[in-house]
Amino acid sequence: MRKSVKVRVIIFDILNEIHYKNKNFDESFLYLTQNLQLINQDRSMIYNVVLNSIRNNLFVNEILNSFLQKKTSLKIKILLLCAITQIIYLDFKDYAVTNDTVEVAKIKKLNPGLINSLLKNIIKNKEQINKKKFNRSYVPLWFIKAIQKSRLNLQEIIENISEEPSLHLVFKNNNLIDTFKEEYDKTSDLSVFLKNRRQVKDLEDYEKGHWWVQDLSSMLPLHLSPEIRSKKVLDMCAAPGGKAFQAISLNNNVTLNDINLKRIKTLSTNLKRLNFSNKIKNYNALDIPEDETFDVIILDSPCSGVGTLRRNPEILFKKKPPDLKFLTEVQKNLINKASKLLNKNGIIIYMVCSFFYDETKNIKNNFLNENKNFSQYKFDIGSNNKFEKFLDNEGDIFCIPSKYNNYMVDGFYSVKFIKNG
């Protein structure tokens, strides 16, 4: 088997693993490549093709629909998905992709004759293909219903999530930005967008621990909360650590907790690189002892993750959707637990990387209705209103995956509550 064919077999297998076994992209990539002897170039190609295939899945379905004459099996469509992505979106050599894809079809017994003729027809008409046209019938029904319930624009979201995410860094203090030698655009006195994407570990001052990667939207809740400086803080679901690092940098006494040992390992590695010495607790957040209370509780709750669709496009590619009923129950229980761990006049910062109504406004409204000793506490944009676009008319941080000053920002939601004394 040619090496290039072997690489494309791996790509096809990863896509099937993600769809049929409901696995995350990174998990599937690692599982199916970790024991293979692959050079870095092949490993990068596999990663790039799989990620872009999932990211452009909805658009490729529309392209396929305009060329397919009859109903075709899903596995053939998955093989064509990765081939069309290479030809239309990644500009790989047409003949190489076609020849190797036909070989993969032979190996997998997936009608190589059909695939060969279809790809040749697509290549012949390549210049007329609209790369960004999609049909809502290819969007999972569960996603459409959640978007409609949230009163959001489906087309705007789909068009935005196909774009590559930008790289945003947050610094431990503003003096460190002045010595940073990469090309960047400042977003605040503590954060920047990089003008050129690179591997994170290759960036200036990575080993020195001057900064961490954190999306602009997820940075905002703590950045717009000056009142939490020098307080006793609990981060209930802390890994991988971005919000916790912000809290630590504000001279807070921060307790970190996370239930997941794998994520704790990542959090511990990040703490060490940043030269932070905070201890990490390993409780189920609902079981955190209530004999100790806090001035501020950060609750970055488990959620559907739809705000990160650019980074995790497999959410719409998996056969099984997120269990929103289960997730919203977890969110309600966690915020109620946080209320019991809070001092009088203390603040809960609730946040999710989601824009679905059930995980955002509905959680807020239910909590306030059931806890009359709490009220909403507004985010402080100060005299600089450049972040005003991230606040909705209720004062919550609310954004869909979108563009900010030519950079890509994740979808995110956050609201603050104060416990009245």
Tell me the whole-structure pTM to 2 decimals.
0.93
pLDDT of residue 136: 85
Fold annotation for 220-419: Rossmann fold (3.40.50)
What is the rounded average pLDDT of the residues 397-420? Answer: 96
pLDDT of residue 386: 87
- Reference 111, options 66, 75, 65; nearest CA is 75
Confidence of residue 416 (pLDDT cuts 50, 70, 90): very high
What are 372's two structure tokens?
Answer: 């009359």
What is the rounded average pLDDT of the residues 247-270? Answer: 95
- Reference 60, options 31, 21, 91, 86; nearest CA is 86
Fold annotation for 3-134: N-utilizing Substance Protein B Homolog; Chain A (1.10.940)
Q: Which residues contact 393 (CB under 8 A, 6 or more apart)?
A: none
What is the rounded average pLDDT of the residues 36-45? Answer: 92
Is the model's pLDDT at 306 over the cut of 90?
yes
What is the rounded average pLDDT of the residues 335-353? Answer: 98
Is the model's pLDDT at 18 over the cut of 90?
yes
201-208 contacts, C-beta under 8 A, 24 or more apart: 203/169, 204/180, 205/176, 205/179, 205/180, 206/273, 207/273
What are 412's two structure tokens?
Answer: 């995110």
pLDDT of residue 204: 85
What is the rounded average pLDDT of the residues 155-175? Answer: 91
Amino acid letter, residue 188: S
What is the rounded average pLDDT of the residues 233-243? Answer: 97
What is the rounded average pLDDT of the residues 377-381? Answer: 93
Which percentage of the chain shows pLDDT scores above 90? 86
pLDDT of residue 333: 98
- Reference 210, options 174, 256, 156; nearest CA is 174
Confidence of residue 381 (pLDDT cuts 50, 70, 90): confident
Mean pLDDT, the chain, integer: 94
Neighbour-count burial for 126-149, b at 16+ CB within 10 Å, e otherwise: eeebeeeebeeebbeeebeebbee
Q: Is the CB of residue 329 less than 8 Å from the CB of residue 398?
A: no
Cα gap 131→85, rounded to integer Å: 10
pLDDT of residue 232: 97
Location of structure tokens 């379905």 = 61
Strand order in the sheet with 168-171: 184-188, 191-194, 168-171, 211-213
Determine which of 107-121, 195-209, 225-239, 313-327 has the lowest per-residue pLDDT on average.
195-209
Helix axes 154-161, 141-149, angle to 10 degrees: 120
**Tens-digit pLDDT profile for residues 79-116:** 999 999 999 999 999 999 999 999 999 999 999 999 99
Is the model's pLDDT at 384 over the cut of 80?
no
Confidence of residue 269 (pLDDT cuts 50, 70, 90): very high
pLDDT of residue 188: 94
pLDDT of residue 131: 85
Is the model's pLDDT at 400 over the cut of 90?
yes
Confidence of residue 251 (pLDDT cuts 50, 70, 90): confident
For residue 183, what are the CA distances in angstroms to 166, 179, 200, 358, 406? Answer: 13, 12, 14, 39, 15
Q: Is 222 exposed, middle or buried (0-12, 13-18, 19+ CB in 10 A)?
A: buried
What is the rounded average pLDDT of the residues 32-59? Answer: 93
DSSP annotation string for 79-144: HHHHHHIIIIIS---HHHHHHHHHHHHHHHTS-HHHHHHHHHHHHHTGGG--TT---GGGS-HHHH
What is the rounded average pLDDT of the residues 207-214? Answer: 95
- CATH class for domain 166-214? alpha beta
Per domain, the residue ranges of the chain are 3-134, 166-214, 220-419
Is the model's pLDDT at 421 over the cut of 80?
no
DSSP annotation string for 21-32: H---HHHHHHHH
